[in-house]
Every structure is written in structure tokens, then in C-alpha cells.
Structure 1
Amino acid sequence: MTVLALDPFQPPQFWYWQGHAIAYQACGDSGPAVVLVHGFGASWGHWRKNLPILGQTCRCYALDLIGFGDSAKPLPKSEIDYTFETWATLVADFCREVVQGPAFLVGNSIGCVVVMQCAVDFPEQVLGIAALNCSLRLLHERKRSALPWYRRVGARLLQALLQNPAVGQFFFRQVAQAKTVRQALHQAYARPEAVTEELVEMLLKPARDPGAAAVFLAFTNYSQGPLPEDLLPQLTCPTLILWGAEDPWEPLSLGQALADYPAVEQFIPLPGLGHCPQDEGPEIVNPILQAWIQEKASQSSPPSPLGAHLPVD
């Protein structure tokens, strides 16, 4: 089956945030605004199969969070703190300055936590949230007690080792190899045919940038901050959760507990899909997102801003 997709290697547009270049792509000239937020180690290209479809009925944007993709990678701590609060502020400012108004936010994995944090901190910028296989942050310091002892000890030991610069750099070099990335994707994806060489190279390319290793190691050691269950009770916008049922990293059996929060209007399991359903099964995910966004947009009807898609220098 042919899937309409953008070239993930085409030059992006850039917007400048706090002096840092932030990459993004956009499709669509009319309709409600939608901002797509990728997961850890990914980029706007992880939405390459969704942008052109959603852009048929929406003004759709996908950005690279600072530290990832083609966006700037300033040094952790000395230049910027890589936290969910930082990324949430970036997304809210993107809505104000580029989108020029509130938007529906769609996230995958840790991108779900980013958009939830954005909706909590900046509710005026968020019309609704769609979360795809939300990161449950199972290695968070408040969740480790539920892990087997060997995983608790192993996680702490690995984090301690990675704080050594030489060990951290060596570890990153092993991770940032085509073979390792391909193996991880085959574990996370339920559809092996979706793991293409284009996808592997798309994920590897930003890892070669200066600063990429430091960002990776900073997030690997980030076991604090919010959990989804901290943020969901605070949401005041409609929320949709989609879950690839074969996800080995964020099990459906645990994710279903998120459906119990009042803001969550629908929880839809997606049989046969894994951790990144937007990339594995766009023919399944896109119609669900289109219908939900159009339904919610008809209830809110925000004005369409002028100058959409103009890069901001």
C-alpha cells in the first residue's frame, strides 16, 4: 500500500526561540491548528506520514524539540535545562509566535508528557490533546520501587556510570549505530516492514550533531519531573489516548489506567501496532485524528490567523 509521506530529509523551516534555532515542517493552509510533538530521540520526520494527510483539513505543524532533530542542541545545565517544563514552554511559545493561536497538540511517547505539561502550564494555548502511547516513565524515581530489584539496581548503576564523561560518550557511540537503532526499532514496532533504512538514517542523522551525546545523556539521567498521572488530573481540555496494543515498552495493560481520568474522553487500543502507531499504521491513526480534531474544532471554532506558516526569525 502506498502511503503519502514527506521526505524526512528535506530542509525544514526554522523559528528562533530564546536565541536557538528550532526546526519545523508545516502542511495545510486552513482549518484548525495542530502541532505534532515527537518522542525521545526522534524528530518531525516521525510524523512524515501524518503531516500531508492532516494538512488536508488542518494547519498542521511538526517541530523538533530543542535538543533533537535539526533543532539546536545547547549544552545541558550550562545553557539550558532539558525538562518537560522547558519543552512545554517551547511548544506554547511556538503556538503563540508561529501558529499564532491555540492548537490541538498531538504527542507520541515522551511527547505526550510534553503536551500535557504544556496544557497544564499554558491552557490558553491548547484546544485539546491526543496522546499516542504515552511514556509511563517507568524508570522515574517514584516508580522504581515497583520494579524487580535487579532493574532498580541496574537503572541506578547505569545512570551513575553514564555521569562519567568517558563512559557516557562511549555508551552513546554504541547506541548511535545503525545496527543498534535497527534492533531497537524492531523491538518497539509490531510491523517489521515499517522499519526501513530511511527510518534508521532519519533517527541517526541528528545523533551526529555536536551536542547530541550530551542531550542524550542528560535525558537518560532525568528521573524526576512529572508523570502522566500527575498531569492528567489537571487537564481542562478534551483528551484522546491512542495505544498501539503490542507496545513492549509502554504496555497496554498499564496504559489503560490513564483512561480513568476525567479529561480522557476516549481510550482507543490499536491492535497490531507498537510504540509508534503514527509511523507504523498511519492509515489507521490519521482518520482517527482527523475525525476527532474536526469534531472538537467544531465545538471551539477558533479564528484562523493570518500569516500561518511564515518562519519567524
Structure 2
Amino acid sequence: LQSRSKLLHFTYFKSLIALTGLLLPLFDFSWQRISDPECIADVLRQVYADHSLNVDNVFHCILETTQHPAAAASFASIMFAPQAELSFSEALSRCDMNGVPICLMYGKEDPWVKPVWGLEVKKHVPEAPYYEISPAGHCPHDEVPEVVNYLLRGWIKSLESQGAAALPLLHDMQSENIQSSIAKDLEFVRQGSNKSVIVRFMGSSFSLWNRMESYFTSRFAKLETKWQ
């Protein structure tokens, strides 16, 4: 039995080494593609909804990071990291059980982490405020930091006051409206110019049907305006 166990271990490690040998060329090719400046620029064009935004600083920071001697190894450690002990759903459930404050903010135009994934998260933590910002992509904290800062500060203020201060967008709102969904225009000033985004708040009783109803209502309203 001991000899058989040693043989199995030897076979396992031999297979692992062989697999690593096959994966390394593929990884090297992937890393060269990912770290290519043109690829980085293309990714940034995808993840930012506002293409007029100057992202040169972000581009150069990413490019500088990819040129670090340990960059490829760090990327590999992320790609081949073992599975976490807790699943994402289990981690959220524990947060909810232990009363960990959570605030969800998503860019509506995010091409990767679609808002529908945020709504899935909200199912596990229904009392967590959910804000959907549009137009905003994968990095709303960088694309519209003024809006994210306003929402985050307001949420923290509401937490610290134990609910005495209303959450952002919910001032002068009836309790039944707070439980469903509302949308408001938020204006802010950037470099002397007035800008605005639409921020939608989704309450604890918000459902997929509410989302569909809201979507079709807005679409019909736009068509009606166009025909007038």
C-alpha cells in the first residue's frame, strides 16, 4: 500500500508538471496580449461609458504596473489561485447575519459586471441600498467620482446617525416609495462645466418585475416624446 501511495503521488506530480509545461506557453501568450499598450487602451474604451473622459493617467498607471518585473507572476497568482473557503453567496449571507453595513453602487453601462449581477447581490442583502449610475461603466468611482463621493458620504452619514439622516435621493420621500425604486438626475460641476447623471435607487422590495416595468415605462416615454 505504501508503494502504491508513493506511485500515485509521483504520477500526480508528474502530471502536474506536464500540465504546467503545457499552460506556461499559453499563459505567456495571454500575458503579452493583455499587457500590450493597444490592448490596454482598447479595454479602457470598453469600461468607460464617457469616451470624452481623459484616462491618460489611468492608462499610464496600468502600463507602468505591467512593466514591473513581478507583474506577470502576480497576474498568474491571481489566475491560478485556489478557490476561497467561502463562496460569494456564503460571504454575503454572513455579512447579513452579522449586520455588516453594505452599500451597492454600479455603473449601468458596465460591459463586464452587468447591473443584473448587482441585483443578484441585493437578493442576499435586501436591506442594502443599491444605486445604479448612468452613464457610468466599470469604474464609476473614477468616471463620476463626484457622484460616488456624494452617495458614499450620504450613506455613511445615515449609518452614523442610525437612520436619522435619510439616504441619498430619499429626502422627503414616502416610505412606500423607499421600498421600491426611484430615479433622479444628479448634477455636478467638473472643470467649470455642469454635468449630470441619472441615479436609480432600488429599495428592499425591488424585484426583477419592477426593473422590467421601469425599463418599458422609460422606453415608451422616450418613444412618445419622439413622436410628438
1:183 aligns with 2:42: yes
Question: How many equivalent pairs are there?
Answer: 141
Please provide the CA RMSD for this pair: 2.5
Pick one of 202, 211, 233 that aligns with 2:93: 233
Identity %: 25
Pick one of 222, 242, 265 that aligns with 2:105: 242
Per-residue CA distance 1:9-38 (angstroms, 9 max, x = gap): xxxxxxxxxxxxxxxxxxxxxxxxxxxxxx
Label 1:244 to 1:161 Cα distance change in 2 as closer, same or farther (>3 A).
farther
1:193 aligns with 2:52: yes
**AA at the equivalent of 1:177:** D
CA drift of 1:248 comes to 1.1
Aligned to 2:205: none
**AA at the equivalent of 2:106:** W
CA drift of 1:257 comes to 1.8
Q: Distance in 2 between matches of 1:247 and 1:162?
A: 36
Aligned to 2:5: none
CA drift of 1:231 comes to 1.0
1:211 aligns with 2:70: yes
Aligned to 2:148: 285
CA drift of 1:229 comes to 1.8
Task: Please say which structure displays the higher CA radius of gyration.
Answer: 2
Map 1:37-186 onto structure 2 (within 5 A). 164-186=23-45
CA drift of 1:188 comes to 1.4
Structure 2's unaligned 5+ residue stretches are: 1-18, 164-228
So what's the TM-score if we normalise by structure 2?
0.55
Greater relative CO (CA pairs within 8 A, separation 6+): 1
Label 1:296 to 1:203 Cα distance change in 2 as closer, same or farther (>3 A).
same
CA drift of 1:259 comes to 1.3
Label 1:162 to 1:176 Cα distance change in 2 as closer, same or farther (>3 A).
farther
Q: Distance in 2 between matches of 1:224 and 1:173?
A: 26
Label 1:278 to 1:227 Cα distance change in 2 as closer, same or farther (>3 A).
farther
More helix by share: 2
Per-residue CA distance 1:71-117 (angstroms, 9 max, x = gap): xxxxxxxxxxxxxxxxxxxxxxxxxxxxxxxxxxxxxxxxxxxxxxx
Label 1:206 to 1:163 Cα distance change in 2 as closer, same or farther (>3 A).
farther
Pick one of 107, 111, 115 that aligns with 1:252: 115
So what's the TM-score if we normalise by structure 1?
0.41
- Would the aligned equivalents of 2:104 and 2:118 in 1 still touch at CA under 8 Å? no
Per-residue CA distance 1:133-184 (angstroms, 9 max, x = gap): xxxxxxxxxxxxxxxxxxxxxxxxxxx7896334323321221122111111
SS of aligned partner of 1:194:
coil
